[in-house]
């Protein structure tokens, strides 16, 4: 009898299933989100793209036409689709070329809120993203009166390729613009000079929350969105919230509204009442809020670095503003600092806010923690009791802006092989000072929060200096992408391919990949500096990728004596590079060099080489950020040559500089970065 009922249910579902079709066009368009019109990439002419709505059991047929002059693609984030429809160029299928059309078609196996975005280059930052809603086949017993899809966005007027090029010049390129420069004066003002010493001695550098200075933070393309002005007090509103930001975490908070979390990453959870939600990049949360009496309540999403926010106003009447969140403390100890906190130094050191890892007890506002999430269908994606564990250390280098797993970028990494039917655990050990939102394509995984329990998700936040473990059932086939969903981290190497061990790969895709892979962490970048002081001039530049670096430098002493040198460096690991080069002074023979560069504790660079005449020489150099705008740097060679400089930053590109060298004594002038 039970089997008959199951068959009848499946038959009923099949009868109600429909083929639902959409046509999407990806094209260029102009957007003005900060007072400056710039070129963007739009879906059907809109930013974000249109919301695609389906019903569980339907078949989606989505025709995507590329009107760009470059390749594009669409990934269906969080949806369980056949491998060929997953939208990762050269891994699951070919990209959609300029002027071409591709028809994605797949069954919709589960309900919930999801989203789509380009998986080509940096197009997601430029605007190629939108929401997906799949209604359940049967009602889930969750009562609400209205609903809205909210897509969070971080907007930059710069071309995303220029953003990444700037970060490659200096991981702190945008710090001055964002007022997030970490200085010795800042440590002294807070009475924690030991934390400065710790950060230098461990070669970690200062705290790092967000890398990019954004021109606007938006929800559904607007800085401020007014919703449900005619809704009655007491009515319940379901907000389907998608963080489509390229690199920004957001904190949801309100003075008037309590948040009832009812779904995470598309899957229903037992309702959880909280005051705040730290929303990682690429995560999805469904929350229910209740329309307040007499006022319109602001629900604010503040960027985690405190550099801005966007707002949703719920209801009619006078607006009840959300409180401003204090900027995060950047001067805490590496061992104690909770980077998800947004508060002053005392709040951070006391563990004022609770983060996803569940390692600190909440005091004050209740912040959502993964351990509070309990799926309503607890066995839907569960693996078996036996498992294989793979440890992945999250590694990065802010000086060169390279990101990786186990210090190996995607381009040099082996595929992670899994066997169909096994339960796999990934143990993430975050050795960096940043949050990382990690996303696994084609699978849901359980976030283990204790005693083998935890919620099922497709994206997990791994806080700085913490360990998070996920578990998934290997129930698919072929190749699947796994990566940090900070777009700039993925682009520079923090990614892997998960391959089922009975799959040998598609030869056509492998051949095409050699001509142009989607994520090129082997790309080359350039940076340079020009110093024009009254008795001294220097121009230097480098051209590098994740493994190779070429440096050139020419200086003029008293604008009469010239010296030039050039080096090639091959990176062995974050701290060590092999070095080969040459130096030419005005009236001397060219000196050839062979040696290495090593980063010492206190972030001091040491170059050691043997010259072609057998001499062993060394150079030590480093820099210190004294105040927000004042920086000191020094260089000393074993040949008794030295250079000491202090600069005052006028802006990102231009500084005033004073220098003292063994050759020209004191000199003052300008320094230009380019």
What pLDDT is attached to residue 350? 28
pLDDT > 80? residue 213:
yes
What does the pLDDT read at residue 382? 81
Percent of the chain with pLDDT over 90: 83
Residue ranges of the domains in the chain? 14-138, 140-377, 388-504, 525-673
So what's the pLDDT on residue 519? 61
Coil vs helix vs strand at 411: helix
232, with CB counted inside 10 A (0-12, 13-18, 19+), is exposed
Q: In what order do the strands lie in the sheet with 216-219?
A: 216-219, 146-155, 236-243, 284-290, 259-264, 267-274
Tally DSSP H helices, then E strands, for the chain: 9, 43
Residue 353 pLDDT exceeds 80: no
User: Under CATH, which number does the domain 140-377 receive?
Assistant: 2.60.40.420
- pLDDT value at 260 more than 80: yes
Task: Specify the pLDDT at position 514.
Answer: 60
Predicted local confidence at residue 342, as pLDDT: 43
Which range among 89-103, 194-208, 462-476, 541-555 shows the weakest confidence by mean pLDDT? 194-208
| Mean pLDDT for the stretch of residues 203-226 | 93
Q: Give me the mean pLDDT over the 64-82 stretch.
A: 98
Q: Residue 15: is its pLDDT beyond 60?
A: no
Region 14-138: CATH code: 2.60.40.420
Where is 87: in which H helix or E strand?
none
Topology of domain 388-504, per CATH?
A: Immunoglobulin-like (2.60.40)
User: Per-residue pLDDT for 509 more than 50?
Assistant: yes
- pLDDT > 80? residue 345: no
φ and ψ of 587, to 5 deg: -110, 15
- Of 204, 207, 208, the residue nearest 247 (C-alpha): 208
Average pLDDT over residues 137-162: 95
Lowest-confidence pick of 5-9, 14-18, 205-209: 5-9
DSSP classification of residue 629? S
**DSSP class of residue 628?**
S
Range scoring the smallest mean pLDDT among 40-54, 302-316, 450-464? 450-464
Cis peptide before 209 (omega within 30 of 0): no
CA 285 from chain centre, in angstroms, equals 18
Residue 335 is predicted with a pLDDT of 61
Q: Tell me, what's the pLDDT at 452?
A: 66
Mean pLDDT for 421-442 is 97
Task: Quote the CA–CA distance of 225 and 239 in Å, as a whole number.
Answer: 13
How does pLDDT run across 467-488, given as a tens digit for each residue?
Answer: 999 999 999 999 999 999 999 9
Tokens of 251: 């904190």
What is the Cα–Cα distance from 280 to 484, expressed in whole angstroms? Answer: 11
- Which residues, including other chains, have CB under 8 Å from residue 558's CB and lie 6 or more apart? 535, 536, 663, 664
Are the beta carbons of 467 and 429 closer than 8 angstroms? yes
Kindly indicate the confidence band of residue 206, based on its pLDDT and cuts at 50, 70 and 90.
Answer: confident
Confidence of residue 3 (pLDDT cuts 50, 70, 90): very low
Looking at residue 511, what is its pLDDT? 80
Indicate if the pLDDT at residue 362 is higher than 50. no
Average pLDDT over residues 71-89: 97
Q: Over the chain, what is the mean pLDDT?
A: 91
**pLDDT computed for residue 560 by the predictor:** 83
Mean pLDDT over 369-388 rounds to 90
Sign, CA torsion 439/444/448/454: positive
pLDDT exceeds cutoff 80 at 347: no
When mean pLDDT is compared across 312-321, 356-365, 581-590, 609-618, the lowest value belongs to 356-365
pLDDT over 80 (residue 336) = no
Query: The tokens of 64 are what?
Result: 């995507």
- CA–CA distances in Å: residue 78 to residues 65, 86, 516: 22, 10, 26
629: alpha, beta or left? (left if phi > 0; alpha if psi -120 to 50): alpha
pLDDT range class, residue 458, cuts 50, 70, 90: very high
Q: Cα angle vertex 301, ends 367, 220, to 5°?
A: 135
Q: What pLDDT does residue 512 have?
A: 78
CA dihedral sign of residues 61, 67, 72, 77: negative
Tens digits of residue pLDDT in 37-63: 999 999 999 999 999 999 999 999 999
Identify the pLDDT of residue 352: 33
pLDDT for res 587: 80
This model's pTM is above 0.85: yes
Please give the CATH topology (third level) of the domain spanning 525-673: Porin (2.40.160)
Q: How far apart are CA 576 and CA 358, in angstroms?
A: 36
pLDDT surpasses 90 at 201: yes
Q: Decide if 14-138 and 525-673 have a common fold.
A: no
């Amino acid at each position: 009898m039970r089997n008959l009922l199951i068959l009848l249910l499946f038959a009923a579902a099949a009868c109600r299933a429909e083929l639902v079709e959409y046509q999407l066009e990806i094209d260029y368009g102009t957007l003005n989100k900060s007072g400056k019109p710039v070129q963007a990439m739009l879906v059907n002419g809109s930013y974000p793209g249109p919301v695609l709505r389906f019903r569980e059991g339907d078949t989606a047929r989505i025709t995507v036409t590329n009107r760009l002059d470059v390749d594009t693609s669409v990934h269906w984030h969080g949806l369980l689709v056949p491998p060929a429809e997953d939208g990762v160029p050269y891994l699951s299928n070919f990209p959609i070329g300029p002027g071409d059309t591709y028809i994605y078609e797949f069954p919709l196996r589960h309900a919930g809120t999801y989203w789509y975005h380009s998986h080509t280059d940096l197009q997601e930052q430029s605007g190629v993203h939108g929401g997906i809603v799949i209604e359940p086949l049967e009602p889930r017993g969750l009562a609400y009166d209205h609903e809205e899809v909210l897509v969070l966005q971080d907007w930059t007027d710069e071309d995303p390729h220029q953003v990444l090029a700037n970060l490659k010049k200096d991981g702190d390129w945008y710090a001055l613009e964002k007022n997030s420069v970490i200085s010795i004066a800042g440590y002294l003002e807070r009475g924690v000079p030991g934390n400065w010493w710790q950060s230098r001695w461990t070669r970690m550098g200062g705290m790092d929350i967000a890398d990019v200075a954004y021109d606007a933070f938006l929800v559904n393309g607007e800085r401020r969105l007014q919703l449900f002005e005619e809704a009655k007090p007491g009515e319940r509103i379901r907000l389907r919230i998608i963080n489509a930001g390229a690199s920004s975490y957001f904190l949801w908070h309100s003075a008037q509204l309590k948040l009832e979390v009812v779904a995470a990453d598309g899957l229903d959870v037992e309702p959880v009442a909280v005051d705040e939600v730290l929303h990682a990049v690429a995560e999805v949360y469904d929350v229910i809020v209740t329309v307040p009496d007499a006022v319109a309540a602001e629900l604010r999403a503040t960027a985690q670095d405190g550099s801005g926010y966007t707002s949703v106003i719920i209801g009619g009447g006078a607006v009840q503003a959300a409180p401003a969140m204090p900027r995060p403390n950047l001067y805490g100890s590496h061992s104690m600092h909770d980077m998800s906190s947004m508060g002053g130094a005392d709040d951070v050191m006391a563990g004022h806010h609770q983060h996803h890892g569940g390692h600190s007890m909440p005091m004050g506002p209740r912040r959502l923690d993964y351990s509070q999430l309990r799926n309503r269908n607890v066995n839907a994606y569960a693996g078996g009791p036996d498992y294989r564990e793979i440890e992945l250390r999250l590694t990065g280098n802010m000086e060169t802006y390279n990101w990786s797993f186990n210090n190996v970028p995607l381009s040099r990494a082996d595929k992670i092989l899994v066997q169909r039917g096994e339960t796999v655990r990934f143990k993430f050990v975050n050795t960096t000072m940043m949050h990382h939102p990690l996303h696994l394509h084609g699978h849901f995984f359980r976030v283990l929060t204790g005693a083998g329990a935890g919620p099922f998700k497709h994206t997990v936040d791994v806080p700085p200096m913490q360990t998070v473990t996920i578990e998934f059932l290997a129930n698919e086939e072929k190749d699947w992408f796994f990566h940090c969903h900070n777009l700039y981290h993925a682009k520079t190497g923090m990614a892997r391919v998960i391959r089922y061990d009975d799959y040998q790969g598609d030869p056509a895709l492998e051949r095409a990949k050699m001509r142009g892979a989607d994520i090129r962490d082997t790309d080359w970048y350039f940076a340079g500096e020009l110093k024009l002081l009254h008795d001294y001039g220097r121009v230097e530049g480098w051209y590098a990728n994740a493994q190779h670096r070429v440096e050139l430098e020419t200086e003029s002493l008293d604008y009469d004596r010239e010296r030039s040198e050039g080096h090639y460096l091959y990176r062995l690991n974050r701290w060590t590079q092999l070095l080969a080069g040459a130096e030419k002074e005005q009236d001397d023979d060219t000196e050839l060099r062979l040696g290495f560069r090593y980063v010492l504790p206190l972030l001091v660079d040491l170059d050691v080489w043997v010259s072609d005449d057998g001499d062993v020489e060394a150079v030590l150099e480093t820099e210190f950020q004294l105040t927000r705008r004042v920086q000191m740097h020094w260089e000393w060679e074993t040949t008794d040559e030295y250079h000491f400089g202090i600069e005052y930053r006028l802006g990102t590109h231009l500084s005033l500089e004073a220098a003292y060298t063994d050759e020209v004594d004191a000199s003052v002038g300008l320094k230009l970065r380019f």
